[in-house]
Structures are given as C-alpha cells and as structure tokens.
Amino acid sequence: MSDKAYALFEEQQQARGIRLEEVKARLKELKIETPSWGYGDSGTRFKVFQKTGVPRNPFEKLEDAAQVHKVTGLCPSVAIHIPWDKVEDYGKLRSHAESFGLRIGAVNPNLFQDDDYMLGSVTNSNEAIRRKAIGHLLECVDVAKETGSKDLSLWFADGTNYPGQGDIRRRKRWMLEALSEMYKALTPEMRMLIEYKAFEPAFYHTDIADWGMAYNYAVKLGPQAAVLVDTGHHLPGANIEHIVAYLIDEQRLGGFHFNSYKYADDDLIVGSVNPYELFLIFYQILNAANDEDTAIQSSVDGIAYMIDQSHNIEQKIPAMIRSVLNVQTQYAKALLINHDEVADAAGRGDVLGAEDAVRKAFEFDVTPLLQAVREEQGLPADPMKAYLSDSYPNDILGRGKGGASW
C-alpha cells in the first residue's frame, strides 16, 4: 500500500509544481538534537513521578539517545547539562557518544540549582556569587572544548519575585558583563545561544524576559552570539513565527528549544497542542531559505533544532521519538508550500488565496513521503513501532527506579 500511496503523493505534488527530490534532500538534512535530561525523570513542583528504566548516568542517557537516532535517523547529537552530566572525563563521554554514531551537542550551564543562586546567579547583587556563576559559564566553555561542542545554550532563571527585590537596570548590566566575559572565552567556531523566558521560576521580572532583550545582548556581544527561541517561553498569544522571521532577517536566530504549551511553560511534546503553529514556524524558515540574499540563506542553515521538554508522565524514549517525528512531519508539510503561489495571491491582495496556499500544504498527509525518505535512508518506515518492538524498552527496566532527574 505504501508504494501506491507514494506514487499518488508524487503525482499530486508534481501537479502542484513541488520538486519532490529537493523536498527529500532537505528532509534528509534535517537534524534535531535531543537533550540528555529529556531521558530522565522530571515533574512539576507538585511531584516528580519516578519511572522504571530511567538512565542512571550520562552514559546511559547517551545510550537512550542513540536509540532515538537509530530508528529516526534524525538525532545525531545530544545536548548536555552541566552539572547534571558532569563526568570526570569528558573525552570518555565523547567517545561513548561516538561509539553510537552520536556527538555531544550544545552544552547547557545550570545556574539555578545551587543555594547561592536563590536571588540570582550572574545578576546577583553579591559579587562573589556573580564570580562563581561566571566561573561556571567559563567551565562550560571548557567542557565544550573537550566534548567538541560548538554551541553553548544559555538559559538564566535569574529574576525577581517582588518589586524592589533587585535593581533591574543594574542586573541588566551585570548580565552583560557576565555574557561578555564568557563571549571572550569562546573559540572562533563556538556560538552563544541566548535564551529568554517570560516568567518562571521568577514571577515578577525575569532578567532576560523576551526575544528583544536576548537579541540586544547578542548584538552587543558580536557575531558569535544569537538568540535561542524556546517555543514555550512566551506570554499568551505571542506570534512565535513572527519573532522567528524577525530574527532570521537580522541573522540572529541561533536555534530552537522545541516543546508545546497551552497555558504557561507546560513543556509538553512539541506539536501536540497546536501543530499548525510549528508548521508556520517552518514556513517562515523556508521562506527565508529561499531568499535571494545568501546571508539570509546561510543564517537559516545555522539554526540549531533542539528538543527541550519535560516528560512528566510519558515513557521517556517513546516521548522523544514522538517529538522528533512531530517536528519532521511539520517540516515535511512546510516543504510542500508553493511559495510562488503564496506570493502571487498575496501580490494580488487575494487574502483568502494566500492563506489557502499556505494551509493547503498543511493538510497533506506526508506519511508516504516520510516513509519513502526513511526507506531510502535504510531506516524503519515506522520508527515508533520499530523501537517498541525491539528488546531495548524491556532491557532498560533492569535499571530500576530512581535514575537521573532534575
């Protein structure tokens, strides 16, 4: 059936002027980084439910991540979090990854789980604490050197819960000082990806609260700094694809932390709440990829796609497979947009025609396309089924409960 389905799909898309070989080539280039912490236990402030089979150390997290890559072919790199993934010998961690065909991806400093950081890390009014926090940032640059990582993903929980608790403008300056010191330590191939978040765990003000603040820091730092968009870090109603398009146009979109939200930073599986939004994000990215300006094109090439979620109640590895498949699905759909058709309608002021030209691509079922691509890549046609019918899910139960968590 799947051959027939693909043949029909091909016929349909060719009739629309879509070049399927190009679509397939782009699909084969798609890479989505998974986070080591996404394989461990997580929860809400009310409860962390412990699952059986959760990895007990950074090495086992890589083993789980390798399973995701094995069945999807999409996830050759794994982001790490320091100190959650602190090991004595990062060379060994790197070799372990490489033994599975993986590499270590972005290095994520952790500046929110130490008692010292209760009132801020790099923006703490206490200079010694700021120095300690900066020290950790520099340590992470060193870790990146050892693991061969190119990206440093920076999320700061820093902020305040009450007016007066901190001097907003002074904290802003301390943030710049810390980022500047870290920036100087980067090697030329490295990038600093600066994340923003509207709220949580700070509930009055967050030092880097929106894309504008992250962007402004990036501009002040230099070309190796860019903005990291976590899709769950916005106020209600935010048009994320607008922000994405804007940052690409400024050549400052460094990457994504993908996840879904309905209310706040719910950290649900990406694509599970409003899949159309994810599609529209890729629409903006692909629109820019087609730009005549080569600077814009290469800016798009540099976008790092990363998952960052909390699988509070889900089985961890299947949840990650689901996530990357959802991203792949929406990316594939966005590749079916006929940009000329959109532009023609828009140019005529045909609002409904332009909207239709975009939405239409979303409505195609891309299963035959994805199966064809997987087949060409020697991957299982149904990655989830392949994983679940393997012995691995059962094998890891031997790890017991009480593995890694945050």
In the bound state with its own copies, the residue whose beta carbon lies nearer, of 147 and 284, is 284
Rounded to whole angstroms, the Cα distance separating 290 from 245 reads: 13
Number of residues that bind its own copies (CB under 8 A): 109
Joined together, the tokens standing for residue 205 give 């003000």
For residues 79-108, which are near its own copies according to CB under 8 A? none
Interface with its own copies, residue 301, by CB under 8 A: no
Rounded to whole angstroms, the Cα distance separating 239 from 246 reads: 11
In the bound state with its own copies, the residue whose beta carbon lies nearer, of 234 and 374, is 234
For residues 361-390, which are near its own copies according to CB under 8 A? 362-365, 367, 384
Closest CA to 397 of 54, 60, 62, 56: 54
Rounded to whole angstroms, the Cα distance separating 104 from 316 reads: 19
Which residues on neighbouring strands pair with residue 268, listed in sequence order? 260
In the bound state with its own copies, the residue whose beta carbon lies nearer, of 280 and 304, is 280
Rounded to whole angstroms, the Cα distance separating 283 from 293 reads: 17
Among 346, 381, 390, 399, binds its own copies (CB under 8 A): 346
Among 37, 90, 183, 211, binds its own copies (CB under 8 A): 211
Q: Which stretch binds its own copies (CB under 8 A): 55-63, 89-97, 209-217, 374-382?
A: 209-217
Phi/psi region, residue 368 (left: phi>0; alpha: psi -120 to 50; beta: rest), is: alpha
Interface with its own copies, residue 215, by CB under 8 A: yes
In the bound state with its own copies, the residue whose beta carbon lies nearer, of 42 and 72, is 42
- 3-state DSSP assignment of residue 329: helix
Q: What is the dihedral of CA 116, 119, 120, 126, to 10 degrees?
A: -70
For residues 47-66, which are near its own copies according to CB under 8 A? 47, 49-50
Name the minimum Å distance from CB 277 to its own copies: 7
In the bound state with its own copies, the residue whose beta carbon lies nearer, of 167 and 395, is 167
Joined together, the tokens standing for residue 172 give 């802003």
- Give the list of residues 6+ apart from residue 115 with CB closer than 8 angstroms, or none: none
Interface with its own copies, residue 392, by CB under 8 A: no
Name the minimum Å distance from CB 90 to its own copies: 25
In the bound state with its own copies, the residue whose beta carbon lies nearer, of 90 and 256, is 256
Interface with its own copies, residue 17, by CB under 8 A: no
Among 274, 298, 377, 389, binds its own copies (CB under 8 A): 274
Output the DSSP codes for 139-172. Answer: HHHHHHHHHT--EEEE----EESSTTSS-HHHHH
Interface with its own copies, residue 266, by CB under 8 A: yes
Q: Which stretch binds its own copies (CB under 8 A): 22-30, 59-67, 186-194, 359-367?
A: 359-367
Joined together, the tokens standing for residue 59 give 């090495």
Other residues' Cβ atoms within 10 Å of the Cβ of residue 362: 18
Interface with its own copies, residue 280, by CB under 8 A: yes
Pairing state between β 43-44 and 47-48? antiparallel
Name the minimum Å distance from CB 28 to its own copies: 21
